[in-house]
Amino acid sequence: MLNLYIVNGPNLGRLGRRQPEIYGTATWSDVMNNLRRDFPNCHLEDFQSNHEGALIDYLETLTDRGADGAVINPGALTHQSYALRDAMAALSIPVIEVHLSNIYARESFRAHSVIAPVAVGQISGLGVDGYRLALLHLVLLMDSDS
Ligand code: DQA
C-alpha cells in the first residue's frame, strides 16, 4: 500500500469558508473523505499549518514516516518561501505542487512560484480536482517503478 501525504499551507484550513468564489465551497474534510474513497488502496495522511516552520518540520518527518510521495499546496508561501523550497529540495520522494486557483490568472505576485523548480510538476486552477489528479499521478509513477 502506498503512503501518500497531502500538506496544506497557510489559510487552507478554512477551505469552504474562505473566499468560496475563488477556492470553492468544499471543506477540507469533504475533500479528504472523497480522496480516501477514490484511493482505497493508498494510505493517505494530511497535514495543514499556518506556520512556515511547522510545515518544514512536518516535511522533514516524511522519510521517517515511510512516505512514498506527497502533494503540497503551500498557499502564499509558494511565492516567497525559500525555506520551504529548501525543505522540499532535501526530500528524496516525489512531491507535486497543487493550487486550487489558477495562480497565473490572478495578481501578478501569485504568478511566480519559488516551489515549482523543486516539484515534480504543478497543477493550478483545477480546484479540488488538483489534489485527486496529483495523487493519481503519484500512483501511476509508483506503478511504473515496480
Ligand atoms: C493557493 C494560491 C495562493 O496564491 C494563495 O496564497 C493560497 C491558495 C491556491 O490553492 O490557489 O493561499 O495556493
Looking at the structure of the chain, the number of domains it has is 1
For residue 85, pLDDT over 80 is answered with yes
| Mutation to probe ligand 1, out of 50, 52, 103 (largest number of atoms < 8 A from CB) | 103
- Reported as a pLDDT band with limits 50, 70 and 90, residue 146 is low
For the record, the C-alpha cell of 33 comes out as 473523505
Environment class of residue 92 by beta-carbon count within 10 Å: exposed (0-12), middle (13-18) or buried (19+)? exposed
Read off the pTM. 0.96
Alpha-carbon gap, residue 144 to 52, rounded angstroms: 33
pLDDT at residue 104, as a whole number: 98
Residue 27's domain comprises 2-145
Q: What is the CATH number of the domain that holds 58?
A: 3.40.50.9100
Tell me, using a 6 A CB cutoff, whether residue 130 lines ligand 1: no
